[in-house]
A = this chain, B = another copy of it.
Amino acid sequence: MKKLINSVDTVLAESLAGFTAAHADIVAADPEGRFVRRAAVTPGKVALISGGGSGHEPLHAGFVGRGMLDAACPGQVFTSPTPDQMIAAAEAVESGAGVLFIVKNYEGDVMNFDMAREMLDRPVATVLTNDDVAVETSSYSTGRRGVAGTMIVEKIVGAAAEEGRDLAALQALGERVNGRTRSMGVALTSCTVPAAGKPTFALGEGEMEMGVGIHGEPGRRRVPLASADAIAAEMVEAVLGDLADQASGDALLLINGFGGTPLMELYLMYDAVRRRLNGRGVTVARSVVGSYVTSLDMAGCSVTLSMLDPETVALWDAPVHTAALRWGA
- Interface residues in chain A, defined as those with a beta carbon under 8 Å from any beta carbon in chain B: 2-7, 11, 14-19, 21-23, 54-55, 57-58, 62, 188-189, 205, 208, 225, 227-229, 231, 259-272, 274, 284, 287-289, 291, 294, 296-297, 299-301, 326-329
Residues of B within 8 A of A17 (CB): 271
With A4-B269, A5-B227, A265-B3 already in contact, the answer to whether A297 and B21 are too (CB < 8 A) is no
> Is the pair A263, B4 in contact by a Cβ cutoff of 8 Å?
no
Q: List the B residue with the shortest CB-CB distance to A206.
A: B2
Residues of B within 8 A of A272 (CB): 6, 14, 18
> Is the pair B263, A259 in contact by a Cβ cutoff of 8 Å?
yes
Choose among B6, B16, B259 the residue that contacts A227 (Cβ–Cβ < 8 A).
B6
Q: How many angstroms between the C-alpha atoms of A62 and B264 in the bound complex?
A: 11
Q: How many angstroms between the C-alpha atoms of A223 and B54 in the bound complex?
A: 30
With A261-B297, A299-B297 already in contact, the answer to whether A22 and B267 are too (CB < 8 A) is yes
> Is the pair A18, B262 in contact by a Cβ cutoff of 8 Å?
no
Choose among B6, B188, B262, B284 the residue that contacts A294 (Cβ–Cβ < 8 A).
B262
Given contacts A4-B265, A262-B297, 16 further A-B contacts (CB under 8 A): A2-B188, A2-B189, A2-B208, A4-B228, A4-B269, A4-B300, A14-B228, A15-B267, A18-B268, A19-B267, A21-B270, A21-B284, A57-B262, A57-B264, A259-B263, A326-B327
Q: How many angstroms between the C-alpha atoms of A272 and B270 in the bound complex?
A: 35
List 19 contacting pairs A-B, 8 Å CB cutoff, sorted by A.
A2-B189, A2-B299, A4-B188, A4-B231, A4-B266, A4-B300, A5-B228, A5-B268, A6-B228, A14-B271, A18-B268, A18-B270, A22-B288, A23-B287, A55-B262, A62-B263, A260-B297, A260-B299, A291-B291
Residues of B within 8 A of A259 (CB): 262-263
Residues of B within 8 A of A284 (CB): 21
Residues of B within 8 A of A7 (CB): 227
> Is the pair A263, B2 in contact by a Cβ cutoff of 8 Å?
no
Q: How many angstroms between the C-alpha atoms of A265 and B58 in the bound complex?
A: 11
Q: List the B residue with the shortest CB-CB distance to A22.
A: B287
Q: List the B residue with the shortest CB-CB distance to A203.
A: B2
Q: How many angstroms between the C-alpha atoms of A263 and B231 in the bound complex?
A: 25
> Is the pair A15, B55 in contact by a Cβ cutoff of 8 Å?
no
Q: List the B residue with the shortest CB-CB distance to A61.
A: B267
> Is the pair B2, A225 in contact by a Cβ cutoff of 8 Å?
yes
Residues of B within 8 A of A11 (CB): 264, 268
Pick the most buried of A6, A16, A231, A326: most chain B CB atoms within 10 A of its CB: A6
> Is the pair B289, A263 in contact by a Cβ cutoff of 8 Å?
no
Choose among B22, B225, B265 the residue that contacts A15 (Cβ–Cβ < 8 A).
B265
> Is the pair B14, A301 in contact by a Cβ cutoff of 8 Å?
no
Residues of B within 8 A of A5 (CB): 227-228, 265, 268
> Is the pair A263, B294 in contact by a Cβ cutoff of 8 Å?
yes
Residues of B within 8 A of A301 (CB): 4
Q: List the B residue with the shortest CB-CB distance to A59.
A: B263
Residues of B within 8 A of A260 (CB): 260-262, 297, 299
Min Cβ gap A193→B in Å is 11
Q: How many angstroms between the C-alpha atoms of A4 and B229 in the bound complex?
A: 9
